[in-house]
Homo-oligomer: A and B are copies of this chain.
Amino acid sequence: MFKKVIIAEDLDAMNLGIQQVLKDLEIVDFQHSKYCDDAFLKIRVAILQNEPYDLLISDLSFKTDHREVKITSGDELIQKVRQLQPAIKIIAYSVEDKNYRIKSLFDVAEIDGFVLKGLNSIEELKKAIHLISNSDQKFISPEVASAVQEKNNYEMDDVDIKILKYLSAGTSQDEIIEIFKSTDIKPNSKSAIEKRLSKLKDFFKANNTVHLVSITKDMGII
Indicate if the CB atoms of A170 and B211 lie closer than 8 Å: yes
A168 within 8 A of B: yes
Within 8 A of B (CB), among A64-84: 65
Tell me how many residues of A have a C-beta within 8 Å of chain B.
36
Residue from the list B119, B172, B208 in contact with A11, Cβ < 8 A = B119
Q: Is A162 among interface residues, defined by CB-CB distance under 8 A?
A: no
**A17 contacts which of B14, B63, B119 (Cβ < 8 Å)?**
B14
Q: Which residue of B lies closest to A97 (CB)?
A: B63
Residues of chain B lying within 8 A (CB to CB) of residue A119: 10-12, 34, 63, 65
Per the bound structure, the CA–CA distance linking A40 and B34 in Å amounts to: 34
How close is A190's CB to chain B, nearest CB, in angstroms? Answer: 17
With an 8 A cutoff between CB atoms, is A50 at the interface?
Answer: no
Question: A137 near B: Cβ within 8 Å?
Answer: no
A171 and B167 alpha carbons, distance in the complex (Å)? 18
Q: Which residue of B lies closest to A167 (CB)?
A: B210
Interchain CA distance A63-B12 in the complex, whole Å: 20
Which residues of chain B are within 8 angstroms of A12 by Cβ–Cβ distance?
A: 17, 118-122
Residues of A within 8 A of B (CB): 10-18, 20, 34, 63, 65, 95, 117-122, 143, 167-172, 206-211, 213-214, 217
| Besides the known contacts A12-B119, A13-B18, A63-B118, 8 further A-B residue pairs in the complex with CB atoms under 8 A apart | A12-B120, A12-B122, A13-B14, A13-B117, A34-B119, A65-B143, A168-B211, A213-B214
